[in-house]
A and B are shown apart, each in its own frame.
Chain A
């Protein structure tokens, strides 16, 4: 099983400032034959299902604001919100889909 670990568990950022969430997998999720990282990021607001923001580690889902960006490869990944907006308050999860599915524990983003 691949274990996903996020850091921090929570962070408070001022409006307009950058928020950075890290995700580490217990083994590489890079598939060499296609050179793709099997890593996605989700946003979940209270009472709603998760919504995908980024897949293949860095491909932004259609309709997702460009202030959200994903980076990283192998075992270490980052989701960056370049300029935090009030509507970005949520819990964010990373997920690997390289071997079955597994999720990080979540990072709660709040306004400072």
Chain B
């Protein structure tokens, strides 16, 4: 069973506009959430994270929002740049040693 879901396999956004990537989860015990970015033929790289005690975390152009009641988090990228084109994975941490990943959303930023 998929405990972390990314229902949009792909997203296209014009350069300069906002990209919003969504993630839903089923386990209310998850206490930490992360976003990873993956380029082809490379391993995922950490992008941004949020603790379950917060509802927002911002780092430059990247902001993650957490809605615990809806079991939903989102990653906002603004302004989007062509170099942001990659696959984005949402991940949730249960015990500090077991991470559950979504299936990824492929973002294309059109110049």
Bound pair: A and B? no
